[in-house]
Structure 1
Amino acid sequence: MKKINIAASGYLFDSIDELSDVDKHLMKEAVEATKKSYSPYSNFKVGAALLMEDDSVIIGNNQENAAYPSGMCAERVAIWKAGSNFPNKKVKKLAIAAISTNKTVDKPVGPCGACRQTLLEYEINQEEPIEVLFMGEIGKVVKAESVTSLLPFSFDSSYL
């Protein structure tokens, strides 16, 4: 038996103010997207903003319904919007912001497992990494250089 070590890595910023102008703008787009979230059941609003290769921005936000939890996460809303409307454009970056009406979200909120899997497929298909930035309502921001780094031991179509 041989022990292997596969780990996620990224960069931790103390606040949004430490980000580059491009990343700061994209994160602000994600924060703005939280305002259009439909989340009356969880009261947890998530916004996502994708920076495309042509520098356009596509946003998404979480969408819930009474058959909770059969709604959809902001990240998948955004990436599927990009895939359906602009199938040949590459995604350069994804920013995610989360706000709760129940309490202050003061730590970074990364994408759930289902979103990581979906995003990974887009990253693999475009053959270029997608940077991922995420934060809560206030405080620190995490930046990962690719979706792959967020999903160690990932599963993809090469296994099929």
Structure 2
Amino acid sequence: MTDETGNTQELLSSLIQELRKFSTMNLFFMEAVASKLHLNATDLKCRDLLNYTGPVTAGRLAALTNLTTGAITGVIDRLEKAELVERVQDPEDRRRVIIQPISRRTQEIRRLFQPLNESVSELFKQYNEKELHIVLDILVGLNTLYPKESLKLSDNK
């Protein structure tokens, strides 16, 4: 029993180490893609976040990303200059603006990600449907976990 527990701990440690490495490699890939758009990775990921949230206020975007309002203003400025978002006056409160994604450059961005998407698809073809459901379950879990952990960090400021 002890040997099995030791193996499990070793496996968990390896999984966490590989997850950290994946996060690092993903960040560097995002920087490479973002540089093609004359942005940085944070800008690009904020624009990507808008694909999931839809239009949001600058304050909401700051809260979702754990960035300061000053930092998010810089992000929005760069995204607007790159024609990836636009500021639209909030019809309910004229003092607020809504950050709305613009789809004009969507095909250009998709082309930048296409080779990676194809490579990832090939990688996933090595696994059966049950294994892919496990991977999907893990990713969904991580996407739930990360915002909660980020919030804990911001609460400790």
TM over 0.5: no
More strand by share: 1
Higher RCO (Cα < 8 Å, 6 or more apart):
1
Q: Please, what TM-score do these two structures have when normalized by structure 1?
A: 0.24
More helix by share: 2
Structure label with greater radius of gyration: 2
